[in-house]
Structure 1
Amino acid sequence: MITVPDPLKPSGGPVGKPVSRVDGPLKVTGAAKYAAEFRAEGMLYGVVVSAAVARGAIETIDAAAALAVPGVVRVFTHENRPRTAWFDSKWRDEVAPPGSPFRPLYDEHVHYSGQPVALVVADTFEAARYAASLVTVACSAGAHETDLKAARAKAATPPKFRMSTDEPAPRGNADRALKAAAVRVDAEYTQPAEFHNPMEAHATTAVYESDGALTVYDKIQGAANSQTFVCNVFGLAKEKVRVVSPFVGGAFGSGLRPQYQLFLAVMGALELKRPVRVVLTRQQMFTFGHRPETLQSVSLGAGADGALQAIAHEAVAETSRYEDYTENLVNWSGMAYRCDHVKLGYKLAKLDVATPCDMRAPGATTGVFALECAMDELAHAAGVDPVELRLRNYAEKDQVNDRPYSSKELRACYREGAAKFGWAARNPVPRSTRRGTALVGWGMAGGMWDAFQQPASARAVLSADGTLTASSATADIGTGTYTVMTQIAAEALGLPVEAVAFKLGDSSLPAAPIEGGSWTVSSVGTAVKAACDGVREEALALARKLEDSPLAKAELEDVIFADGHIGLKTDASKRLALADVLKRSGVAAVEKTVEAVPNLVKQQPYSRAAHGAAFVEVEVDEDFGTVKVTRVVSAVAAGRIINPKTARSQILGAVVWGIGMALHEAAAVDHALGRVMNHNYGEYHVPVHADVPDIGVIFVDEPDDVVNPLGAKGVGEIGIVGVAAAVANAVFHATGKRVRDLPITLDKLL
């Protein structure tokens, strides 16, 4: 039995403290290695040739000129690729949606613009890149469709496959309640496709070993996902494939699924029996998963006092021809507010695009944007303060699942966020506030995100020198996983952070889920703690057996682990150093590997979610229509915060993403070509330092012993949910003009 101390008691150890990143020195000195930085003798370099049509068939590929370039080793196409798995099931990764997964270089068919159609491999990157420009691909172009609005009429309800994305059954009679409502809002909100654009481009270095094994350095949010994919597709045994991904330069969902460079690099390494590296260009970063474009219709009906009587929320989203990617998009409207009459609908339109994929708070970021803008419109129409409107419609329980929340401190988020922002001084009249020549607007929005826990495993090894090594095959995509896991392990055994090392990003380590969904601390952290608690028990058992041990009769609840010692709680002088316990016992190390699984009996009676509220100030130049966010306060209730420093960084980054969604980001698609035209950093706009204002972050105290043994809910997603709506609502307050089509650019305000 593993005893888990009460996580709600104040911690005297590193948990809850603002510990600086333990991996920080490696990153700032350049010692941290990313997927494209691992070297091997005899390295070859692969460069991808992309399709120029959105739909069609390859008629010919002429690689003669490329093969004539000195240093070129091979040009792979669908005509000379090796045999790979046949069944779709072999190509499905851990998070693949229903359908037939994309298979690079599989046949002559082109499914979307930018699809990889050839791989040029050479002994230098420069030779491969030049040779790739010489490959001539002739295609017969078919009729394509990339315009979601044009395809809207053909959208259909996706197949039922995952409960979290199935739209819930209607409750009450929303149509009748809407007709009878004293105040009504009917609006459509649109959001374009957005692309992840992490600093590190997707890359894979596949090293062929002399015994036929592979060591694969991949940019991925879960090394085991890439390992399973490679083994299944190429028919390899798991012991022959090791995937390593110690550092990831941002991913935000783009690394949940193995991307096509992994297949191409492994294919090249196996065929040529040499190491092969494939790095995608910035332009090619726009040729796979993305946040899907959505069209959303929201209708709200309320009494004269703003009390909700009906909600109708229907959405149409894009997906590819070959997979049905779905998001939990409209369900939030059935959960966020108390309302007896709700109707939700969700449809997919199949387009000639790459399958979309998860992107920071998938579904919630876009669905809550529409809902929270509509709530702001309702507040204005009813003459009720936006915060007060949300309090009047506060949901004490999850009406979709008819369950109470394990904890919900959203009221405190509203209260503390509004106080820090100074919301009470807001003049409710649009265009009523100026600062010099600029119109000033204040807006706010609420948000929520599921608090998940997944099964996960971890290993803890306490060595006789008093150091502890914990490990799990999870990832760190910049979120601070190395650091918080180190803190959790250090606290469990009463060690200083400096005496603890955490290993991750390696498929040979204990199994862990992909890093996503804000569940890593909840899942892997629980496993790390459980493994360390197992070490605690074993260490105490050894201490009790020592001759003249002051702990001979002590039980686990009688001792405390602190300062590298085990001591009696009642007498601090009676203690033993952990290192001495192992040495005197003749034990080199104490090791425990544990799989932690959710406590369903405890969790199932409840819905579990993180909540937040964003308050935003904008300045709008009345003459030019330019918008600048000048102030943000984000108040978050996310259970126990393991590290307020790294958690704050997560919220800061998420808020910046929300600003980008509201004001900057949009894929400009030429539908005549079916191609994203602004596929670069120069024209695909993201916020820069000049766009980011002072951001205040508040973590509301929220004890929760149901969500997981640590009480932590995760913060990676909740910080972005609601931010775009708060910006849009602030722009309306400043100008009196409601922009429902993101991003809010100057042409839409003039």
Structure 2
Amino acid sequence: MIDAMQDEKSPVGNGKELPVRYDGKLKVMGKAKYAAEFSKEMEEQFKGKGMVYAYLVLSHIASGEIVSMDTTAADRASGVVKILTPFNAPKLPMVAPQPPATRKLSLLQDRNVYYNGEPIGVVVAKSQVEAAHAASLIKVKYKASPPKLGFEKRLGEARMPKGGNAPKAQKHGNEAEAWAKATTVVEQTYSTPLQTHNPMEPHATIAAWDGEKLTVYDATQYISGDKLTLAKHFSLPLDNVHVIDPYVGGGFGSKGSTWSHVILCAVASKVVGAPVRLAMERTQMFGPVGGRPKTVQKIKLGTDANGKLVAMQHDVIMPASIMEDFLEAAATQTTMLYQCDQISTSHKMVDMNIGVQTFQRAPGESVGTTALESAMDELAIKLNMDPLQLRLLNYAEKDPGEQKEFSSKNLKQAYTDAAQRFGWTKRNGTPGAMREGNKRVGYGMATATYPANRSAAMAVVRLLPSGRIFIGCGTQDLGTGMYTMMAQTVVQELDVPWDMVDVKLGDSTLPKAPVSGGSQSTASVGPAVKDACSQLKLKLASMAVSDPSSKLYQAMPQDIDVKGGMLTSRTDPSKSEPLSLSITRNKGAVIEEMGSGEPSQEASKQLSTHSWGAVFVEVAVDEHTHMVEVRRVVATYDIGKLLNQKTGMSQLEGGIVWGIGTALTEETVLDNITGRIVNNNLAEYHVPVNLDAGTIDVSVIDRPDIKFNPQGARGIGEIGITGIAGAIANAIYNATGKRVRDFPITPDKIMAA
């Protein structure tokens, strides 16, 4: 749906979209190369040195100290080049932690063990198979100590966060007075499990040294962060580190930080004097590269007699690795989603012998909305009110937590549009009233939301002698469509055919861009590309108006535009000349300009920036097996300007599918005795497949948010996962009358409810 009230005069480009994904053909043909696939290039670059292969050795206890590592048999195994352990690994400088999270790494610098599955050694061999075999021959003796496990039994030990990304506890209004006014109160506890990212491309790194210069191909969401972290760990100038990653096979947050294996791969390369490839196995992805923390969320909501919220309380407890705090800020959306004068939130942590947790798609809001939207549904039922009406009654016109105006908010329209397309008025509010044979049908809804983030970014644009346009930025493409977005922005700004645009990203020598996380890449990189194009147009115009032989001589540079490969006067279209004359004028040399974009500090102080969505779900629950079928999902999102239909809808639909997994299937199971993750594979870690998703009907309100950025576009990579799990839980209740508050909602839990 394209909103009729779109501001046609807003400066968001001319609306041209690429007919295909810029990188689509390469991916379909298998020609898009990922980090682990550059062995040949590295061998050629580094004087024919043959590639060798590294394999991580992981701990088998959760807490203690390594007494010895017998590598005798492994050293004699076929193809082994070198084995690194805490007893012989090179010492690295102690460096300050790097953003976006602090990340205490396991780099073989001591013999301590903090979790089961922690890297404690690296085997380097002539092949991957030989390295893995040799690793299995290493005999490790430990001095074990009692691990801190059993999260649910230790909630009483919860403490305040030590730092990291922890938000401050918030309290707004007079708590005692507010609760005294509440005539209807809902107070419940919801829990969500540990989850693991599992992108299609596992983490992988290739590293090689040329003297004191380091080249790394790494599966990363943040090449600039990789570069900085590697430089600091090896005491190198930044210019001595080159990080490359043209394509990322998914990341979802796990690849947003530099993990231990990246540094260890570079260490191994330095020791053996050859390029080293370290590709993690699927089982090794559970623990050493983070995951979404488990949460226990206590929510208390109170309303007056009319159903208006008078008090809200959201308290979250989650586990923390004893190595480092990482906080799943699950209560943040509660401070701004609904109008209420008294809001209190808190986050606490329980120390555990687990790997450091990390950002996972919509960190905080994904599980936070799961609990909050379930609680809102319970409140509506207790009030005998339609769940949608309750949300409209408590609609926040401005951010109640920060007391700021929203940069843009069209959530009411999203509610109306999605409800109409879904057929919400046909819902029977009596649980179990809608039946089809042995299936009980239920309708549920929820609100989706995610912050609109933006950081500083730069881009370079060049008019090449061939007449092609080059655009480059040190950002990443996780499959979200960054190649397409960059090319499309050039097409819109310079009015050139898309197949005349060359896009380069995923290279740390290009202008710096932020981490591809927090749904900020398009909102950050887009304005930089747009500005680069504007600067190039101005340069070409200035060159033309200064040339007596030009038809545009002595015109005003600001009066000249680029149209169809021509420099053209806006006031007199008869005055124009081909772009090729600019190259001739520049003696055949490349013409280059830089562009930048960064958020306005003044605007960020005055405005609250978020995206919004309304999600409606129909489920059918078999009354005999209690299996849940998600039949259809209808959602409308307010994400500012939709820059590309194909890539944008793909992101929203993908987030919804992930939300179905959050609701019904995904859980990383930790053994509370050994600390081992027992389902560390895709056979037992259940993610939704096509048959689990049903029909997905996604729409957007295409209204630019110009107060947020010049293109009016907010990021959409993560909002799709928010709200959907709560909507499914609410639909299951409507179908069965059973409220399950422990996610994922599996048949046994419905049966026991």
TM range, normalised to the smaller chain? Answer: over 0.9
Counterpart CA distance in 2 for 1:317 and 1:536 is: 52
Aligned to 1:112: 115
Q: Sequence identity of aligned pairs in percent?
A: 39
Aligned to 1:323: 324
Counterpart CA distance in 2 for 1:160 and 1:111 is: 19
- CA change 1:530–1:7 in 2 (3 A) is farther
SS in structure 2 at match of 1:537: helix
- CA change 1:12–1:522 in 2 (3 A) is closer
8 Å Cα contact 1:18/1:646 also seen in 2: no
8 Å Cα contact 1:417/1:613 also seen in 2: yes
Aligned to 1:475: 476
Task: Tell me the amino acid that sits aligned with residue 133 of structure 1.
Answer: S
Task: Tell me the amino acid that sits aligned with residue 389 of structure 2.
Answer: E
Counterpart CA distance in 2 for 1:328 and 1:237 is: 35
Matches within 5 A, 1:448-463: 448-463=449-464
The alignment status of 1:255 with 2:258, answered yes or no, reads no
Give 1:134's match in structure 2, choosing from 134, 137, 159.
137
Counterpart CA distance in 2 for 1:512 and 1:282 is: 29
**Which 10-residue stretch deviates more, 35-44 or 265-274?**
35-44
8 Å Cα contact 2:106/2:120 also seen in 1: no
The alignment status of 1:166 with 2:171, answered yes or no, reads no
8 Å Cα contact 1:463/1:579 also seen in 2: no
- CA change 1:175–1:292 in 2 (3 A) is farther
Aligned to 1:234: 234
8 Å Cα contact 1:442/1:730 also seen in 2: yes
Counterpart CA distance in 2 for 1:11 and 1:436 is: 54
Shift of 1:603: 3.7
Counterpart CA distance in 1 for 2:7 and 2:72 is: 66
Counterpart CA distance in 2 for 1:717 and 1:230 is: 28
Counterpart CA distance in 1 for 2:12 and 2:115 is: 55
- CA change 1:14–1:469 in 2 (3 A) is farther
Shift of 1:669: 1.4
- CA change 1:325–1:277 in 2 (3 A) is same
Shift of 1:688: 1.2
Counterpart CA distance in 2 for 1:658 and 1:614 is: 11
**TM-score (ref. length: structure 1):** 0.95
8 Å Cα contact 1:61/1:136 also seen in 2: yes
What are the superposed Cα offsets for residues 251-276 of structure 1, whole Å, 9 maximum, x if unpaired?
00000111222112101101111011
Task: Tell me the amino acid that sits aligned with residue 259 of structure 1.
Answer: W
Give 1:57's match in structure 2, choosing from 52, 62, 65.
65
Give 1:94's match in structure 2, choosing from 63, 81, 99.
99
Shift of 1:150: 1.8
Counterpart CA distance in 2 for 1:258 and 1:734 is: 45
8 Å Cα contact 1:19/1:483 also seen in 2: no
SS in structure 1 at match of 2:607: coil
Tell me the matched-pair count.
Answer: 737
8 Å Cα contact 1:178/1:300 also seen in 2: no
8 Å Cα contact 1:15/1:488 also seen in 2: no
Aligned to 1:76: 84
Counterpart CA distance in 1 for 2:571 and 2:421 is: 43
8 Å Cα contact 1:227/1:238 also seen in 2: yes
Aligned to 1:410: 411
Counterpart CA distance in 2 for 1:628 and 1:11 is: 44
8 Å Cα contact 2:370/2:726 also seen in 1: yes
Aligned to 1:613: 614
Aligned to 1:388: 389
What are the superposed Cα offsets for residues 513-570 of structure 1, whole Å, 9 maximum, x if unpaired?
1111111111111111111111010011122233353433443553332212222334
- CA change 1:606–1:11 in 2 (3 A) is closer
8 Å Cα contact 2:293/2:328 also seen in 1: no
Counterpart CA distance in 2 for 1:418 and 1:518 is: 26
Aligned to 1:738: 739
What are the superposed Cα offsets for residues 569-605 of structure 1, whole Å, 9 maximum, x if unpaired?
3443332221223324535222112332222223421
Shift of 1:176: 4.3
What are the superposed Cα offsets for residues 332-389 of structure 1, whole Å, 9 maximum, x if unpaired?
1121101112121111111111111000110111111111110011111111111111
**TM-score (ref. length: structure 2):** 0.95
Shift of 1:613: 1.3
SS in structure 2 at match of 1:133: helix
Shift of 1:198: 0.4
Task: Tell me the amino acid that sits aligned with residue 78 of structure 1.
Answer: P
Aligned to 2:46: none
Shift of 1:705: 1.4
8 Å Cα contact 2:81/2:126 also seen in 1: yes
8 Å Cα contact 1:301/1:311 also seen in 2: yes
- CA change 1:13–1:610 in 2 (3 A) is closer
- CA change 1:402–1:16 in 2 (3 A) is farther
Aligned to 1:3: none
Task: Tell me the amino acid that sits aligned with residue 123 of structure 2.
Answer: V
Aligned to 2:245: 245
Shift of 1:148: 1.9
Aligned to 1:276: 276
Shift of 1:236: 2.0
Matches within 5 A, 1:149-228: 149-159=152-162, 165-168=167-170, 170-209=171-210, 211-228=211-228
Aligned to 2:525: 524
The alignment status of 1:489 with 2:490, answered yes or no, reads yes
SS in structure 2 at match of 1:734: helix
- CA change 1:351–1:370 in 2 (3 A) is same
Matches within 5 A, 1:26-65: 26-39=26-39, 40=43, 41-65=49-73
8 Å Cα contact 1:638/1:712 also seen in 2: yes
8 Å Cα contact 1:173/1:342 also seen in 2: no
Counterpart CA distance in 1 for 2:123 and 2:14 is: 50
What are the superposed Cα offsets for residues 474-508 of structure 1, whole Å, 9 maximum, x if unpaired?
10011000100111122111112111111111111
Task: Tell me the amino acid that sits aligned with residue 416 of structure 1.
Answer: D
Shift of 1:409: 0.7
8 Å Cα contact 2:366/2:721 also seen in 1: yes
What are the superposed Cα offsets for residues 50-84 of structure 1, whole Å, 9 maximum, x if unpaired?
11111111111111111111210111100000010
Shift of 1:149: 1.4
8 Å Cα contact 1:320/1:355 also seen in 2: yes
SS in structure 2 at match of 1:318: strand
Task: Tell me the amino acid that sits aligned with residue 219 of structure 1.
Answer: A
8 Å Cα contact 1:174/1:312 also seen in 2: no
8 Å Cα contact 2:105/2:259 also seen in 1: no
8 Å Cα contact 1:474/1:512 also seen in 2: yes
Task: Tell me the amino acid that sits aligned with residue 480 of structure 2.
Answer: T
Aligned to 2:3: none
Counterpart CA distance in 2 for 1:201 and 1:161 is: 26
Task: Tell me the amino acid that sits aligned with residue 617 of structure 1.
Answer: E
Counterpart CA distance in 2 for 1:601 and 1:13 is: 25
8 Å Cα contact 1:305/1:384 also seen in 2: no
What are the superposed Cα offsets for residues 397-420 of structure 1, whole Å, 9 maximum, x if unpaired?
011111100100111110111111
Task: Tell me the amino acid that sits aligned with residue 286 of structure 2.
Answer: F
SS in structure 2 at match of 1:48: strand
Counterpart CA distance in 1 for 2:511 and 2:729 is: 45
Counterpart CA distance in 1 for 2:355 and 2:463 is: 47
Output the aligned Cα RMSD.
1.8
8 Å Cα contact 2:446/2:614 also seen in 1: yes
Shift of 1:161: 6.0
SS in structure 1 at match of 2:92: coil
What are the superposed Cα offsets for residues 21-54 of structure 1, whole Å, 9 maximum, x if unpaired?
1111111111111111111241111111111111
What are the superposed Cα offsets for residues 396-451 of structure 1, whole Å, 9 maximum, x if unpaired?
00111111001001111101111111112111111111123211111111021111
Gaps of 5+ in 1: 1-5
- CA change 1:414–1:557 in 2 (3 A) is farther
Shift of 1:15: 4.2
SS in structure 2 at match of 1:576: strand
